[in-house]
Amino acid sequence: MSRFLQILFFALIVRPVLLVILGMNVRGREHLPKKGPAIIAANHNSHLDTLTLMALFPLRDLYRLRPAAAADYFLSNKWLEWFSHNIIRIIPLERGGVKKNPLADLEASLDKGEIVILFPEGSRGEPEKRSQFKRGVAYLSKSRPEVPIYPVFMHGLGKALPKGSWLFVPFNCDVIAGPAMHWPGSTTDLMAMLEAQMNDLAAKGHVPSWE
C-alpha cells in the first residue's frame, strides 16, 4: 500500500508542482544512476531538495531511493513520521547521536542495492548559498569504496521554498547532474573532488548571484 501511495504522491502532486509551478529544468539526466548501490550527493537549500531529486527517477524506481534525513525533525510528530517512513522512505540520522557507527543504516541500505541521497552540507543553509561540506559522505564512500557517488547541483529551490517557510514562490529551478565519482583513496581527496565537481556544475548552469 505504501508503495502505491508513494507513486500517487509523486505522480499527482510532486511532479506537477515541479514542472508547472516551478518550471524545473534538468541537465545531465543521463548521469543519474540507473541502479544501486549508489550515492547521490547534492547541495541543500530547501525542503524541496529531496522531493526534487526523487522526482528525477521513474516512478517504478522510487522505492529504492533512500534519502538520509535528520531524525529529530522528520520523526518529530506522528503524521510526519508516517509520511517520512512510508512516502519519502528516509533513513533517519541522529544528529549528535551516540550510535557506535552512525553510518550503519546508510551502509545497510547500500548493501541492499539501494540509492542513498545525501546532503553533505548537513542542514539546509541560507537560500542559494552553499555551506562547507561535512566529511560524512567521504567516510561512507571509504566504507563502501566500490559504490559510485553522483554529484547533483540544484539552484532556485532555496528561493522557491526557503528554510523556515512553507509558502511557494514560483522561481525557475535548475538541476544539473554530473558524472559519477569513485573513492580516490583518501577522505581529503574525495572532499576536494566533490567540491570541484559542484563548482563545475554550478559554472555549467551559469548560476547568477542572488542579491
Q: And the C-alpha cell for 180?
A: 559519477
Whichever domain contains 183, its CATH number is 3.40.1130.10
In sequence order, what are the beta bridge partners of 177?
A: 152
Q: And the C-alpha cell for 54?
A: 526523487
Residue pair 54/69 in contact by the 8 Å Cβ criterion:
no
Within a domain: 211: no
Summarised one tens digit per residue, pLDDT across range 2-24 is 899 999 999 999 999 888 777 78
**Residue type for 119, please?**
F
Q: How many domains does the chain have?
A: 1
Task: Please tell me the pTM assigned to this model.
Answer: 0.89
Secondary structure of 101-163 in the HEC alphabet?
A: CCCHHHHHHHHCCCEEEECCCCCCCCCCCCCCCCCHHHHHHHHCCCCCEEEEEEECHHHHCCC
Cis peptide before 37 (omega within 30 of 0): yes
Residue pair 35/113 in contact by the 8 Å Cβ criterion:
yes
Within a domain: 179: yes
Summarised one tens digit per residue, pLDDT across range 100-137 is 788 999 999 999 999 999 999 876 555 556 668 999 99
Within a domain: 104: yes
Summarised one tens digit per residue, pLDDT across range 157-192 is 876 566 655 666 667 788 999 999 999 999 999 999
